[in-house]
Amino acid sequence: MARKLSRKQENRIREGRQRRIDEFTADPSTLREGVVISRYGSQADIEDREGTLLRCGIRRTVGTLVSGDEILWRPVVPGEGGTDTVEAVLPRKSLLQRPDFYDGLKPVAANIEVAVVVASAVQPELSTNIIDRYLAACVHAGIEAAVIITKTDLLPDPGDEDRLRERLSFYGEPHVRLFLASSATGQGISAIRDFLSGRRSLLAGQSGVGKSSLLNALLGSAAAEVGAVSDVSGLGQHTTTCTRMYRFPEGGTILDSPGVREFGLWHLSREDLIRGYWEFAPYLGTCRFKDCRHQNEKGCAVRQAVAEGQISPERYDNYLRILEDQEQVRSRAGFRRACTDPAGR
Ligand SMILES: Nc1nc2c(ncn2[C@@H]2O[C@H](COP(=O)(O)OP(=O)(O)OP(=O)(O)O)[C@@H](O)[C@H]2O)c(=O)[nH]1
Ligand SMILES: [Mg+2]
Ligand SMILES: [Zn+2]
């Protein structure tokens, strides 16, 4: 379990980072720049500026380190032994995080420009609740989001795809790009490649929805391992165990991540959560009560809009469930830890 760092430890991390950035600025020959491809416990695979892959140790004072992090690393001096070591994390342009009840806020990926939430049209069963959770987290982190629905080849009836588009019509531009795709037939793959190449992206979502299959289809290679969905539970079997960065031949990077069981949003305030529900915006401030939570209050303009068909009942129901989940977790002991950043960032 990750310990919450004391203020003193947090300061040490910050000072250490600054010292190494200063050292690099003064003499770029002692430290080198790189990017984290994957992190495994006390080690990380990094790529240096020449594109060479190296396994490095991590200096104890580095703090959190995740795929996508830009870093400074120190090569071993020939003849002196030891290992190449990650010495400092450079300032992040973005950080997607999720709260863990025991470990506090956990970083998922650094410096991504677009997070792609992957869900399956068929199996595991499509959950817009988990998509909504990612979308709200992305809005909060200032990261563009897209939604990809995979396995359309498994839809049994010819009209199913149109019905799916109709059901998901609440997603779409300008808020989020929606793609329907099949890694088996190639449907949607070139449009997704056009959308993602040249950018820094992340594939995220439940286990078994087809993230690694999609990655392989996009790259045109069997780069990532793929595992069958369980016949018994209809769920994925957590084949990918570690987030890893891949490069598009035409430029840009894409992170494949392990499937999640749930995605808590306890670190978001109600206002933060509502920002992920952009269709509520025209009604905010017009409810009878100023502090309306849009749950069961009388004179709620959001509920009225749902009743009149202006807001999708499915999206609204997801909002209610996330709100209830937030309230339930907040009432439990240990909640403060779940929303605390262990690295103090
Ligand atoms: N028919 C069909 N099967 C697919 C498609 N995409 C993925 N699958 C299958 O779905 C199963 C799970 O695929 P993965 O790519 O391993 O899923 P994942 O999201 O990476 O799963 P985790 O790594 O466990 O998070 C495998 O049996 C794939 O062959 C698709 O578009 N069509
Ligand atoms: Mg996978
Ligand atoms: Zn209201």
The CATH number of the domain holding residue 130 is 3.40.50.300
CATH number of domain containing 309: 1.10.40.50
| For the CA of 213, the nearest atom of ligand 1 | 15
Among 89, 109, 126, the domain-final residue is 89
- Residue type (1 letter), 160: D
Number of helices and strands in the chain (H, E)? 9, 13
The pair of structure tokens assigned to 96 is 């997607």
User: Structural domain of residue 296, as residue ranges?
Assistant: 278-323
* Burial (CB count <10 Å: 0-12, 13-18, 19+), residue 225: exposed
CB-based burial label for 289 (10 Å; 0-12, 13-18, 19+): exposed
- From the CA of 287, which ligand is nearest? 3
**Pocket lining for ligand 1, CB < 6 angstroms:** 150-151, 153-154, 182-184, 207-213, 226-229, 236-240, 258-259
Q: Are residues 75 and 110 in the same domain?
A: no
Question: Looking at the DSSP assignment, which residues form a beta bridge with residue 89?
Answer: 71
Which residues lie near ion ligand 2 (Cβ < 5 Å)?
A: 211-212, 239-240
Say what the pLDDT of residue 345 is: 42
Ligand 1 atom nearest to CA at 123: 10
Same domain for 153 and 240, yes or no, is yes
Query: Are 113 and 36 in a shared domain?
Result: no
On whether both 147 and 248 belong to a single domain, the answer is yes
Kindly report whether the peptide bond that precedes residue 313 is cis, defined as omega within 30 degrees of 0.
no
Structural domain count, the chain: 3
Instruction: Compute, in angstroms, the gap from residue 183 CA to the centroid of ligand 1.
Output: 8
174: preceding bond cis by omega (within 30 degrees): yes
pTM of the model: 0.91
Per-residue pLDDT of the chain (345 residues; tens, 9 = 90+): 345 667 888 888 888 888 888 888 888 778 999 999 999 989 999 999 999 999 999 998 888 999 999 999 999 888 888 899 999 999 999 999 988 777 778 899 999 999 999 999 998 999 999 999 999 999 999 999 999 999 999 999 989 999 999 999 999 888 999 999 999 999 999 999 999 999 999 999 999 999 999 999 999 998 888 988 887 788 888 999 999 999 999 999 999 999 988 888 988 999 999 999 999 999 999 999 999 999 999 999 999 999 999 999 999 999 999 999 988 887 775 666 555 554 434
Residues paired with 260 in a beta bridge: 206
Q: Are residues 184 and 113 in the same domain?
A: yes
